[in-house]
Structure 1
Amino acid sequence: MQDEYFPDVVGSDGMDFGKAVCIITGASKGFGRCLAKEIALLLKPGSVFVLVARSGDKLRDLQAELAATRAGKAGLITRCVVADLGVKDDVERVIQEIREAASDTDIDQLLLIHNAGSLGDISRYAKSFTDLHEVNAYLSFNVSSALSLTAGVLEVFSRRQGLRRCVVNVSSLCALKPFPSWVLYCTGKAARDMMFRVLAEEEPNIRVLSYAPGPLDTDMQVEARTSSADAGLKKSFSVMHSQGGLLTCEESCSKLLKVLLKDEYPSGTHLDFYDL
């Protein structure tokens, strides 16, 4: 699988992430799961994966898949954390797991990928969101947790010579463009993009990237074309699906990993699949 997607990145030039601690949220399915499987092939022995998601069964299935790969057989350590990132105690538990994973690991790179996210209720328009608790719960899971988790991880992996630190925010076109009936999702994605732009300004020694993976053929895309309140938006997603316009997770994952390995992007920038 790797050779198909990385013919010019892995192999002849030997590019990889070295011995690393890699943290992926939303790792149990879709884009996050694909990232875990591909990044595993780009890590040196002794590297550590911390995979975070709400579905324990799917995380354990992924852990078994990784153990059976050549990376797993070469000494990749995988830790699964079942957590709801909208809950304060769960975020703290993830950070504690990361702290334990890092305690006896001498690494070259930290790679933190914020992939966890939800659409929110896209069957309604902005004027219907009168319930403050509903809005706060959405923002807690999709925005606040990303900031708190990033801060906690950076405390664990403070700056030191020879340690590369990279934070990736899985973003969306919705961070830049308003989609009718997607007020929560657009707000969350825009907030996260700005959050990580600020981080890049404050911490020039940390590599920061917001990557919009494009329209992926995932469960979220099914929800988009069946539940969107806006008829035009629902139709456009349906046409995209019926005409083969959706991307596979593997296609998008390939582009992201090439960008990260080349490491030539301006820190804090927003890159879209179609920009590359």
Structure 2
Amino acid sequence: MGTYLITGATGGIGGAAAELLRDRGHELILTGRSPERLAAVQARLSGGAHARTQEIRQINADRAAGPAGGGTGTATDARVTTLPLDLAAPRRLEAALAAAGLPARLDGLVYAAGVAHLDTVAETESDEWIEHLSVNLVSAAELTRLLLPALRAARGQIVYVNSTAGLRANPRWGAYAASKWGLRALADSVRAEEPEIRVTSFFPGRTATEMQRRVRAQEGVAYDPSDFASPETMARTVVAALETPHDAEITEIVARPRP
């Protein structure tokens, strides 16, 4: 079994990917901004069908005072670890990971975190640009840099959950699309520079997540989850890429909801 770090684990695609990987018996390091939401995800993955294999324990209570990533420390059970991180503050990630004591080998990084705020370029102020770029791109690059030694040790894989906005920019999506185009460039660069690590760019179309609910509100349109692909469907695509035999590499995947 492998060890996978998932950002955005409290969101739609990230949370669904965590569920699928946990079902397969992998060890997980789940990150998100909210310690409370992470604890809820951990509790869900530690119960039910998983309960027989779990031995819940608390580690290093001294760290609960709060790592530099903006959270309240690291909590773990036998297979699921949670690590609160604020990806809007990429300069703090190195200290947070150092305090967490991550494993020396990492089979995969799934970067599924993201933010999206819609507005025209004329109305988008610098703070919005900075937040989009920090969460959707700079923190992805920084986590990649920090985790490369562990990924190299395991000849692991990175899946960057991008967006179809990373393929085409539409009106009012400028800041989000720019960050996702940058994420695609990051993936291409890492793939070329790290031949022992497989790198996948995943471009999902609109998915029934809380982010999509907020986007529809910004668009002034009612949110109906049946209009979109489910996060579970999109997560299956992520896991399929991770489970591809090592004699092949899935470099790019585009998945769109069917009408």
The TM-score bracket by the shorter chain reads 0.7 to 0.9
1:224 & 1:34 partners in 2: Cα distance?
A: 20
Report the counterpart of residue 179 of structure 1 in structure 2.
170
Alpha-carbon shift at residue 243 of structure 1 (Å):
9.2
Q: Does 1:222 align with 2:201?
A: no
Instruction: Specify whether residues 243 and 138 from structure 1 end up closer, same or farther in structure 2 by C-alpha distance, changes over 3 A only.
Output: closer
1:171 & 1:212 partners in 2: Cα distance?
A: 5
Could you list the runs of 5+ residues in structure 1 that have no partner in the other structure?
A: 1-17, 229-233
Q: State which of 110, 117, 120 in structure 2 corresponds to 1:125.
A: 120
Q: Does 1:101 align with 2:102?
A: yes
Q: Does 1:269 align with 2:251?
A: yes
When normalised by structure 2's length, the TM-score is: 0.80
Could you list the runs of 5+ residues in structure 2 that have no partner in the other structure?
A: 55-77
The one-character-per-residue Cα deviations of 1:119-177 (angstroms, maximum 9, x if unpaired) are 03x1x201223x4344223311221111011110113x1634xx231001001110011
2:158 & 2:236 partners in 1: Cα distance?
A: 17
Alpha-carbon shift at residue 26 of structure 1 (Å):
0.9
Alpha-carbon shift at residue 28 of structure 1 (Å):
1.2
Report the counterpart of residue 107 of structure 2 in structure 1.
110
Give aligned pairs, total: 234
1:247 & 1:158 partners in 2: Cα distance?
A: 30
Equivalent pair of 2:8/2:32 in contact (CA under 8 Å): yes
Q: Which amino acid aligns with 1:114?
A: Y
When normalised by structure 1's length, the TM-score is: 0.76
SS of residue in 1 equivalent to 2:5? strand
Instruction: Specify whether residues 244 and 207 from structure 1 end up closer, same or farther in structure 2 by C-alpha distance, changes over 3 A only.
Output: same
Report the counterpart of residue 200 of structure 2 in structure 1.
209
Alpha-carbon shift at residue 268 of structure 1 (Å):
7.2
Q: Which amino acid aligns with 1:31?
A: I
Equivalent pair of 1:214/1:252 in contact (CA under 8 Å): no
Q: Which amino acid aligns with 1:127?
A: A
Aligned pairs (5 A) from 1:225-240: 225-228=216-219
2:99 & 2:207 partners in 1: Cα distance?
A: 30
Q: Does 1:136 align with 2:130?
A: yes
Alpha-carbon shift at residue 85 of structure 1 (Å):
1.0
Q: Which amino acid aligns with 1:79?
A: T
Q: State which of 43, 48, 52 in structure 2 corresponds to 1:64.
A: 43
Q: Does 1:92 align with 2:94?
A: yes
Q: Which amino acid aligns with 2:102?
A: A
1:243 & 1:196 partners in 2: Cα distance?
A: 30
Report the counterpart of residue 14 of structure 2 in structure 1.
32
Alpha-carbon shift at residue 216 of structure 1 (Å):
1.1
Equivalent pair of 1:22/1:110 in contact (CA under 8 Å): yes
Q: Does 1:159 align with 2:152?
A: yes
Alpha-carbon shift at residue 207 of structure 1 (Å):
0.5
Instruction: Specify whether residues 206 and 274 from structure 1 end up closer, same or farther in structure 2 by C-alpha distance, changes over 3 A only.
Output: same
Equivalent pair of 2:241/2:250 in contact (CA under 8 Å): no
Instruction: Specify whether residues 215 and 208 from structure 1 end up closer, same or farther in structure 2 by C-alpha distance, changes over 3 A only.
Output: same
Alpha-carbon shift at residue 95 of structure 1 (Å):
2.2
Over aligned residues, Cα RMSD in angstroms? 2.6
